[in-house]
């Protein structure tokens, strides 16, 4: 393999990239646009839950309970209603997510030490949000009930009621529990997978459509030189996109970068090389740019978005799908990004992910070279 011939292919491809201003602008602007849109619009935080209140008791105790909900940042009291039908109408019209109905005789049962009834009506059309909201309300009611019981026992017997278990929570790695700290690192891998696969999936297919591939094949170039030369030209664009995504994540979205920047760059280069060679493999298999674009989109965006653990937890997927995720390279890169960004762990913990990314890059490079050799033959 000649480094001189490979450098010539890279120079030719780089000049073509500079002349195609629209593709170059898309390759540089799309990652920025995706990061801004997903970073701000895609959030898993559930707070300020719109709530309607039906207080059938109208006592100081019921008002005290409502005040607990109103004073929490997780709930937003939209207003008060006089019947259940008004709550149902609010949920049907997507005006509220939660209906808080305090039953009649709530205060009497509470002060008498009996179970006081409070009904919670959730909009279950979004099951994930409803489950999180239910957890918030359960914790709120449990804390309120414990405080009332302790107050009543102190009033009657003068003894202080201590809880049987003193639970003190400590949240590691994302103490603010902000979803952007979870989403943005994974989003970097999705952006890299899409851009790398798409911009290179058109390169050889474009050569076939323009009729210049025959001229290229008439030269003494070897398939490996063509693949590496073309990949190296697009590597500079992909690496620039990676640096911009990391910089925006750290400085704009304030995602903590606790680990080694050198390890992050090494892993990014491995994943970038594999994704670029994957795009060239697709381009070598498809003779038209349209087919290459469609294959590149299906093989990069969908697996990276759905099966990498970027948003959806792999542990909650069916066993068959969980097994399928082991062949998705974005899964290992997402795990590595979150380990470096949030946990600050190093090579001794993430060497398995690095090994998989290296194997992925080598395997895709081998198949891309083999496929191009078949085209030459």
pLDDT of residue 368: 85
pLDDT for 360 equals 93
Q: Is the pLDDT of residue 103 over 70?
A: yes
- CA-to-CA distance for 39 and 248, rounded, in angstroms? 10
What pLDDT, on the 0 to 100 scale, is given for residue 252? 86
* Average pLDDT of span 21-43: 76
Q: In this structure, are residues 70 and 100 in contact, taking their beta carbons and an 8 Å threshold? A: no
Q: In whole angstroms, what is the distance from residue 273 CA to residue 93 CA?
A: 49
Q: Which domains does the chain have, with CATH numbers?
A: 3-43+178-376 (no CATH), 49-157 (3.40.1710.10)
Instruction: Look at 370 and 289; give whichever has higher pLDDT.
Output: 370
At 48, the pLDDT band (50, 70, 90 cuts) reads confident
Q: What percent of the chain has pLDDT over 90?
A: 14
Kindly state the average pLDDT of the residues 200-223: 70
Least confident of 89-103, 212-226, 290-304: 212-226
Contact 107, 59 (CB under 8 A): yes
Answer whether 50's CB lies under 8 Å from 78's CB.
Answer: yes
| Chain mean pLDDT for the chain | 81
From residue 11, give the alpha-carbon distance in Å to each of 17, 140, 149, 155.
10, 64, 77, 85
- Binned at pLDDT 50, 70 and 90, residue 306 comes out as confident
Q: What is the 3-state secondary structure (H, E, C) of 10-59?
A: HHHHHHHHHHCHHHHHHHHHHHHHHHHHHHHHCCCCCCCEEEEEEECCCC
Asked whether 203 and 27 are in contact (CB, 8 A), the reply is no
Give percent of the chain with pLDDT exceeding 70. Answer: 88
User: Residue 346: exposed, middle, or buried by beta-carbon count in 10 A (0-12, 13-18, 19+)?
Assistant: middle
Nearest residue to 69 (alpha-carbon basis) of 83, 54, 89, 84: 54
Has this prediction a pTM greater than 0.85?
no
Distance between CA atoms of residues 218 and 211, nearest Å = 12
Which residues are CB-neighbours of 282 under 8 A, at least 6 positions away?
197, 201, 292, 295, 296, 299
| Cβ-contact 75, 144 below 8 angstroms | no
pLDDT of residue 169: 65
- Region 261-289: what's the mean pLDDT? 86
Give me the half-sphere count of Cα atoms (radius 13 Å) on the Cβ side of residue 234: 29
Distance CA 291, CA 209 (A): 12
pLDDT of residue 362 exceeding 90? yes
| Per-residue model confidence (pLDDT) at position 227 | 81
Q: Which tokens go with 376?
A: 């030459």
- Would you state the pLDDT for residue 353? 92
In the predicted structure, residue 6 carries a pLDDT above the cut 60: yes
pLDDT, tens digit (0-9, with 9 covering 90-100), for 246-266: 888 888 888 888 889 999 999
d(CA 171, CA 310): 20
Cα separation values, 333 from 6, 150, 170, 263, 339, Å: 28, 50, 27, 12, 10
Question: How far apart, in whole angstroms, are the C-alpha atoms of residue 112 and residue 363?
Answer: 72
Helix segments in the chain, DSSP class H: 3-19, 21-41, 60-70, 84-92, 106-111, 127-157, 179-201, 203-210, 213-217, 223-247, 261-285, 289-306, 319-324, 329-338, 347-376
Confidence band of 219 (pLDDT split at 50, 70, 90): confident
pLDDT band of 307, cuts 50, 70, 90: confident
Quote the pLDDT of residue 54.
92
With a cut of 60, say whether residue 161 has pLDDT above it.
no
CA angle 72, 73, 77 (to 5 degrees): 70
- pLDDT given at position 224: 80
């Amino acid at each position: 393999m000649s480094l001189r011939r490979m450098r010539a292919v890279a120079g030719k491809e780089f000049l073509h990239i500079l002349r195609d201003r629209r593709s170059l602008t898309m390759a540089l602007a799309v990652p920025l646009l995706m990061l801004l849109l997903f970073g701000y619009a895609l959030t898993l935080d559930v707070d300020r839950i719109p709530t309607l209140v039906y207080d059938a008791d109208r006592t100081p105790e019921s008002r005290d309970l409502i005040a607990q909900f109103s004073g929490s940042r997780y709930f937003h009291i939209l207003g008060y209603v006089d019947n259940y039908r008004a709550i149902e109408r609010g949920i049907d019209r997507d005006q509220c997510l939660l209906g808080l109905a305090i039953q009649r005789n709530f205060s009497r049962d509470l002060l008498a030490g009996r179970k006081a009834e409070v009904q919670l009506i959730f909009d279950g059309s979004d099951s994930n949000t409803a489950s999180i909201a239910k957890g918030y309300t359960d914790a709120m009611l449990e804390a309120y009930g414990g405080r009332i019981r302790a107050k009543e026992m102190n009033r009657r017997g003068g003894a202080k009621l201590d809880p049987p278990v003193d639970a003190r929570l400590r949240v590691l790695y994302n103490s603010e529990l902000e979803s952007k700290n979870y989403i943005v690192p994974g989003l970097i891998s999705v952006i890299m997978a899409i851009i790398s696969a798409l911009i290179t999936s058109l390169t050889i297919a474009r050569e076939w459509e323009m009729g210049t591939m025959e001229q290229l094949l008439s030269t003494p170039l070897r398939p490996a030189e063509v693949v590496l030369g073309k990949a190296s030209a697009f590597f500079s664009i992909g690496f620039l996109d990676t640096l911009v995504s990391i910089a925006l994540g750290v400085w704009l979205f304030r995602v903590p970068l606790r680990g080694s920047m050198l390890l992050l760059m090494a892993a990014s280069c491995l994943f970038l090389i594999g994704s670029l060679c994957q795009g060239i493999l697709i381009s070598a298999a498809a003779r038209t740019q349209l087919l290459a674009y469609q294959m590149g989109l299906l093989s990069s965006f969908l697996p990276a978005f759905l099966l990498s653990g970027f948003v959806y937890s792999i542990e909650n997927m069916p066993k068959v799908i969980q097994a399928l995720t082991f062949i998705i390279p974005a899964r290992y890169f997402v795990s590595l990004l979150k380990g470096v960004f949030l946990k600050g762990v190093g090579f001794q913990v993430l060497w398995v992910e690095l090994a998989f990314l290296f194997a992925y890059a080598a395997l895709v490079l081998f198949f891309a070279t083999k496929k191009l050799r078949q085209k030459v033959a």
